[in-house]
Amino acid sequence: MIEVDIEKRFSRHGDTSGAFSIAATFSSDARIIALFGKSGSGKTTIVNAIAGLVQPDRGTISIDGERLFDSAHGVNRSIESRGIGYVFQEGLLFPHLNVKQNLLYGAKRNGSAALPLAQVVELLGIDSLLSRDAPSLSGGEKQRVAIGRALLSNPRVILMDEPLASLDVARRSEILRLIERVRDELKVRIVYVSHSIGEVSRLADDVVVLNEGRVLACDNTEAVFNRADLRPHTGRYEGGALIEATALHHDTEYFLTTFSFDGGELIAPGIDVPIGSRVRIRIRARDVTLATERPKNISVRNVLEGKVTALESHAGAIVEVRVKMGTRELSARISRQAADEMTLTVGSRVHILIKAIAFDKRSMGLSA
């Protein structure tokens, strides 16, 4: 269990009238907990406080019942004694050391690594890099080594501060798979900082939503991204629903995978997961079309049935329609004109249309 209840105030050049403050309280026992919010919301300050790089003005920080910081009782554990690994946005490897030496630094910090060097090297696929100098590595290679160095420090928690921010799309996919392997094979707890809905919905078990230094929500990932009241902070354009589904069938001819959930079945781009695996699927509201009659002879592969539970309009061009299928709800973002012409009201029966190619397979990952 990670428990945080801290306050920290920053002034700008001594001018407290323009100060930024953190007042964050949350707890989670999730394998991966994400701190999510736009730039400047306080995410990095919080992970730095957990690491011991920033000292809060007031509060407590605990991991599994052990106090790392307690302002009331004068507790402030040193960085080295907290048992925390840190993967920074840019990797921050030691430039004067080669890859193997950077990795062994993590083990040296701990005195003795719980994981053998060979196991970490194999997991991360970096055997061919061991003799390379750190400055010669690509961005993705640096992040692999940074993760390895953190693992070899035998941490109880690894902090990852926007570890994919400087990587291209292909490298991001590689590192996402590696983080999933670390989660599933090594059972290491991770605090993951990001403002990417795709990354967080794929990786995180719990999400802490932050805005201007305050916690707006702390809950399981599906619940957070399905909350309509959080849309201004989780992204209206990227907003939608997150559904956990089971891989049912792989179509190797057309490279599609069929998933089942309690509201029906979904066909999406094929992903390499075993049949029976639980997978998170993000459905963006802008990718959902509604119809009052079941269409025929169309290219859309997913046609589901549901009932309208809510309509939200602010007198503009767009209406947000909530539709329930089984126990699951989706959002559809349609024009107000269309909603009026279809005479949609709460209780209306509709067909939900979603293109198979609308799903972003890079944000689809195995549930922990």
**pLDDT tens, residue by residue, 286-318:** 999 999 999 999 999 999 999 999 998 866 898
| pTM, entire model | 0.83
Distance CA 142, CA 53 (A): 22
Q: How high is the mean pLDDT of the chain?
A: 88
Give strand ranges (E) for 37-161.
58-63, 66-70, 75-76, 84-87, 157-161
* pLDDT tens digit sequence for 39-70: 889 999 999 999 999 999 999 999 999 999 99
- CATH number for the domain that contains residue 310: 2.40.50.100
Which residue spans within 133-213 are E strands per DSSP? 157-161, 189-194, 206-211
Relative to beta strand 256-261, strand 240-251 is antiparallel
CB 3 within 8 A of CB 61: yes
Residue where one domain finishes, among candidates 234, 258, 288: 234
Whichever domain contains 105, its CATH number is 3.40.50.300
Query: Number of folded domains in the chain?
Result: 2
* Per-residue pLDDT tens over the stretch 325-342: 988 888 899 999 999 999
Out of 234, 257, 290, pick the residue that ends a domain.
234
**Domain interval for residue 249:** 240-366
